[in-house]
Amino acid sequence: FASVLVNLLPKGVGRAIVNRKCPKVYIPNTGFDPEMRGYTLVECVQLLIDMVQTDHNEQDLNEDIQNENNIPVKDILNFVLIDTQNCEYAVEVDQTAIEDLGVIVIDVPLVNMETMNDQQHSSSPLSSNECGRKNTRLDPLKVVEVLLSL
């Protein structure tokens, strides 16, 4: 999560995100993420929105543009992509609260079930899931399929 936040820090990134007319998607980490400890998923989403709004509004101030209103969320983040059926999330996932922020939650299968079954039956500690109950690795092809459908 911190790797996402740090990429929002450089001046102008928030404005660039707002100005892009494409779907904006956040895919949270599955499994344990020490950087998200103490946060819920909705708090992470709100922090992303706040950081983009702050940068965008600071840019307006630097350009002497009066903008007292926050940028609409739809210009910052459109979708949160999750798979609660097959994936383990170390933070609370409250889909309703995320949607109350104005962000659409897409909860679809993002795991290749054949790969998941192979991982669960493997004796290698590197291929087993980290939480012991559900998968923590997304299938890149499934993720790409969803992203391209947006």
pLDDT confidence tier of residue 130, bands split at 50, 70 and 90: very low
pLDDT of residue 114: 72
As beta bridge partners, residue 31 has 89
- Residue 95's H or E segment, with its range, is helix 95-100
Q: What is the mean pLDDT of residues 9-31?
A: 93
Q: What is the mean pLDDT of residues 97-118?
A: 87
Pairwise CA distance, residues 26 & 38, whole Å: 19
CA distances in angstroms from 138 to 81, 115, 124, listed in the order given: 11, 10, 18
- Residue 135 has which token pair? 């998968």
Q: For all residues of the chain together, what is the average pLDDT?
A: 84
Q: What is the mean pLDDT of residues 16-44?
A: 91
